[in-house]
Structure 1
Amino acid sequence: VRLLGFAVASHHPGLPVFSPTTHCALSLEALPGAHPPGAAVRQLRTAVCCNWHTHWLRVVFCFIKNACLELGHCLRWVSDASISPVQILFVFPAEDEGVPVVLVCGPKNTGKSTFNRYLINLLLNHLPMVEYMECDIGKTEFTPPGCVSLSSVTEPVLGPPFTHQQTPRKTVYYGLTSCEQDTERYLDVVKYVFSCYKKEVPLIINTMGWVKGDGLLLLIDIIRLLSPSHVVQMDVYDWKAMAPLTPEHVRFSAGLHTKGKQQSKCKQLGVGGVESWKCSEEEDLLSPQHKLLYVHPEFPRAGMAGEVILRDMAMLGYLGHLQSPDIGAVLPLHSLVPYQVPFNAVALRVIHTDVAPSNTMYAVNASWVGLCCIPEEVRCQTNGPVLLTQTPICDCLGFGIVRGVDMEKKLYHILTPVPPENLRLVNCLLLGNIAIPNCVLVGQQGIEGEIPYVTSDYNYSIVGSGKLRKKKQHLKRRDFPFECDYA
């Protein structure tokens, strides 16, 4: 059988499979000539519904109730592949053309993420590894939100993002879920991450669903920058939503930050002696070409969860790696031992807005931070903090929660699942507009009385006050002298 594109044979070991109600049900396809009896299907349904309680997944279901529907209730048995146009991608280019680089684009909610998983799994049937570049900072696949990353995928992807959070080969924390605020920095980040790709294995590139206005122009910039061999455009039967991104359209249209090629004026006289405009054959050969493929989405939309909930689940899946696999119960985050980091050991930068230096520590406290490594040595003559004046484009080694700021001892207290050998490289904390999920602040067990950082005891008539918005706060990284704080 084939499960979301990945061929499963009898000799394969057990695969972790997740099909929650927040996403479309996984499809189970019978390969040609395969027709297992009903008893085998029932046995499969029973087997895959067992033993899904991993230590990190327990955290998600501790906060997000009814997040998972048993796979046995949403299996559908089909005899034909549901995405036949994808098979064209297996007509690989000749050796001198290199490995395929497939860029997937289309409006929001057209099935790009599911298509990408299907394509990854199809390729893994033939190759030991596929690379995946995430350019959709609002709906990331292998990392918490707000990142542009390059991941090496060696195992089939058989679940939504919160089930396969991993450490990519290269990650940059952009710090927002939309790049409209700073598209130039976004392109610089994409270029920096793409430079790590060695063109030895196929690459799948996911893009944002922002394809109107400046979003479409930015997509043209990305196609020019990355020069994919294939562009897969999710066809929604409405070209008002998105024009066909043919090679000619990409070549001649102006992007948001790049100019299109001018059609060269050939000295070829047309009817009546009028000179015609035409791109020269020489220019045609020199221009990078891509094959444009249309895919009609056949994945049924599923789930009641919006983008904010899905981002929360990805973050909870990441925080689940703080839990011990040997302990059955979910330990509340306030019971875990944080690292303590001196102010002057790490640089600090708030990405998404200007914050007065006197208020920076208030912004950092109880925030989601990216733990980054900048090439410059962090030097400070005092006890800190060290504040950066510009947002660096640098490697992100992981994420953490600043659970406290000790102003007397000049220490940050940070919870993170990043291993100690990587923490030694961290010398920068980046804060974005991505906040700790509200459920972490209000839903942890073992807290009595007033909940820290959560209050409604203030005057709502004051300018600037208001209810806590269901949005995120800060996300970025931190430093190297990490010491366990057992106090």
Structure 2
Amino acid sequence: MSTCGGEGPEEREREWEDAAEAVAYDSSTWPPPVVAVCGPGNSGKSAFSRLLLNTLLGRYKKVAYLDTDVGQPEFTPPGFVSLHVLEEQTKDLTMLYLRPPKRCFFFGDVGAHKNPKLLLSYIFGLYDYFLQELYCFNETDDPKKSAIPLVINTSGWVKGIGLHVLSEILRYVSPSIVIRLRTTSEGKNLPDGAFWLDVREGDSRVNIIEIRASQNSPRHLLVKKEARMIRDLRLVAYFRQCLPRDFSVFSYDDLVQGFAAIEPFQLPLSKIQVIDLHCQISDDAQHDFLAGTIVGLGSSKCVSLSTECPFPWCIGLGFIKAVNIPGNFILLITPASRRLLANVDIIFRSCIVAPTCLLQLQVSDEVDDITDRLRDL
């Protein structure tokens, strides 16, 4: 099925709305649809996904959202694969929102190229969780387990390894509907048809809806710069949750001073297992390279329900201000609750560059003070 046609932004907007309504209100849509939104970078996948979520919430009480784009996720900081359950429509589709996920894994990078196998295991693990906990039809006595639709947002990397990862996702999930955004630059588009299926599988029941991309003229040089800026904004917004709600930020210096004033959480170093997701450094040097980095926080108690995934769920991000090996402690700031932090015994290293306002934190006096207090005990 294709809805392409018409010219101009108004026609495109109507085209998007028609596609979203076709997904949400098709009378034959039972069980609730599992929808994958695909297309090249900067084609509008996230924007269409938000529109689709709002439209589905006009029919269903809850809608699940599986975000597989670790570089430009919709509701989390970069580096996460996450599953969300939404119950309310988003009023402003142009704003960036952070939402606590139902479950998430920390991939620790903004692209799949270093470890596509691990990324796929995370995605499959979250989808398995969705099937087991949210896509149930016979448990009418438990309203929390009534079937709900799923929207899957995918990465804009659609060539080489990116195309392989996307094909593996679509094969594993077997969506009932695939929304494919197409640009006027044919070389950037996905292959036609159900490209992820083996030719021997013949006709598929999947419904492919093709719509035009939000931007038909490539921006080339601005794309990477804007992507980095958005990632930094999401990271700053995430760690800003550590500050009091009434803390005002009028300048960059206010932000730096606010982060510097946050009382860090102290983790015992001997309790922590450091997992290097992408084999960046040797085991012997793990602790030396933690200071000044963004890490994922995990607990061995948070075991995934899926056999596909080798690691526990992630409970949040932390920024490590300092590591004191003789004193056996790590200082980190994080908006994660103290209750959750009490169970943290895993740190996932990452390749994600911390925003400058975090890297400027001065910690030497703080480390010396804690070391002196520990010595006096």
TM-score, normalised with respect to structure 2: 0.78
> In structure 1, how many angstroms separate the alpha carbons of the residues matched to 2:148 and 2:183?
30
Of residues 177, 186, 211, the one that matches 1:295 is 211
- Corresponding residue of 2:129: 196
Distance 1:400 1:87, change over 3 A: same
How far off is 1:244 after superposition? 4.2
Gaps of 5+ in 1: 1-75, 253-260, 264-278, 378-390, 453-487
Q: State the one-letter code of the partner of 2:83.
A: L
Of residues 2, 19, 42, the one that matches 1:85 is 19
How far off is 1:313 after superposition? 0.4
What secondary structure, in the 3-state scheme, does the structure 1 residue paired with 2:339 have?
Answer: helix
- Corresponding residue of 1:424: 342
How far off is 1:300 after superposition? 8.5
- Corresponding residue of 1:354: 280
Higher relative contact order (CA 8 A, sep 6+): 2
Distance 1:367 1:181, change over 3 A: same
> In structure 1, how many angstroms separate the alpha carbons of the residues matched to 2:103 and 2:293?
23
Distance 1:403 1:196, change over 3 A: same
RMSD, aligned α-carbons: 3.2
Superposed CA deviations along residues 11-60 of structure 1, whole A, max 9, x for unmatched, are xxxxxxxxxxxxxxxxxxxxxxxxxxxxxxxxxxxxxxxxxxxxxxxxxx
Are 2:375 and 1:441 aligned? no
How far off is 1:128 after superposition? 2.5
- Corresponding residue of 2:244: 324
- Corresponding residue of 1:140: 73
What secondary structure, in the 3-state scheme, does the structure 2 residue paired with 1:196 have?
Answer: helix
> In structure 2, how many angstroms separate the alpha carbons of the residues matched to 1:141 and 1:299?
19
What secondary structure, in the 3-state scheme, does the structure 2 residue paired with 1:332 have?
Answer: helix
Of residues 302, 316, 338, the one that matches 2:264 is 338
Runs of 4+ in 1 over 4 A off after TM superposition: 158-162, 299-305
Of residues 102, 110, 113, the one that matches 2:43 is 110
Q: Percent identity?
A: 24
Q: State the one-letter code of the partner of 2:323.
A: V
What secondary structure, in the 3-state scheme, does the structure 1 residue paired with 2:88 have?
Answer: coil
- Corresponding residue of 1:266: none
How far off is 1:434 after superposition? 0.4
Distance 1:158 1:362, change over 3 A: farther
- Corresponding residue of 2:159: 212
- Corresponding residue of 2:59: 126
Superposed CA deviations along residues 67-121 of structure 1, whole A, max 9, x for unmatched, are xxxxxxxxx999x8462333221333537x4110110000111111111111112
CA contact (8 A) 1:92 1:99 kept: no
- Corresponding residue of 2:371: none
How far off is 1:220 after superposition? 1.5
- Corresponding residue of 2:196: 250
Are 2:180 and 1:233 aligned? yes
CA contact (8 A) 1:93 1:100 kept: no
How far off is 1:191 after superposition? 0.6
Distance 1:192 1:172, change over 3 A: same
What secondary structure, in the 3-state scheme, does the structure 1 residue paired with 2:196 have?
Answer: helix
How far off is 1:161 after superposition? 9.1
How far off is 1:201 after superposition? 1.1
- Corresponding residue of 2:375: none
What secondary structure, in the 3-state scheme, does the structure 2 residue paired with 1:348 have?
Answer: strand
The structure whose Rg is larger is: 1
How far off is 1:127 after superposition? 2.6
CA contact (8 A) 1:141 1:161 kept: no
Of residues 224, 241, 244, the one that matches 2:171 is 224
Q: State the one-letter code of the partner of 1:215.
A: G
Distance 1:300 1:235, change over 3 A: closer
Distance 1:141 1:161, change over 3 A: farther
Of residues 123, 141, 166, the one that matches 2:99 is 166
- Corresponding residue of 1:313: 233
What secondary structure, in the 3-state scheme, does the structure 1 residue paired with 2:351 have?
Answer: coil
Are 2:312 and 1:394 aligned? yes
How far off is 1:160 after superposition? 7.3
What secondary structure, in the 3-state scheme, does the structure 1 residue paired with 2:188 have?
Answer: coil
- Corresponding residue of 2:374: none
What secondary structure, in the 3-state scheme, does the structure 1 residue paired with 2:281 have?
Answer: coil
What secondary structure, in the 3-state scheme, does the structure 2 residue paired with 1:102 have?
Answer: strand
Q: State the one-letter code of the partner of 1:177.
A: V
What secondary structure, in the 3-state scheme, does the structure 1 residue paired with 2:197 have?
Answer: helix
> In structure 2, how many angstroms separate the alpha carbons of the residues matched to 1:214 and 1:432?
20
How far off is 1:171 after superposition? 0.3
Of residues 280, 299, 303, the one that matches 1:373 is 299
TM-score, normalised with respect to structure 1: 0.61
CA contact (8 A) 1:162 1:318 kept: no
How far off is 1:311 after superposition? 0.3
How far off is 1:392 after superposition? 4.5
Q: State the one-letter code of the partner of 1:440.
A: L
Are 2:332 and 1:414 aligned? yes
How far off is 1:180 after superposition? 1.2
Superposed CA deviations along residues 316-375 of structure 1, whole A, max 9, x for unmatched, are 111111111134455521211111111122211222233234432221011111111234
> In structure 1, how many angstroms separate the alpha carbons of the residues matched to 2:108 and 2:346?
14
Q: State the one-letter code of the partner of 1:86.
A: A
What secondary structure, in the 3-state scheme, does the structure 1 residue paired with 2:129 have?
Answer: coil
How far off is 1:241 after superposition? 2.6
> In structure 2, how many angstroms separate the alpha carbons of the residues matched to 1:183 and 1:159?
33
CA contact (8 A) 2:302 2:313 kept: no
Larger helix share, 1 or 2: 2
Distance 1:262 1:299, change over 3 A: closer
Distance 1:114 1:243, change over 3 A: closer
> In structure 1, how many angstroms separate the alpha carbons of the residues matched to 2:331 and 2:67?
30
Distance 1:414 1:373, change over 3 A: same
What secondary structure, in the 3-state scheme, does the structure 1 residue paired with 2:286 have?
Answer: helix
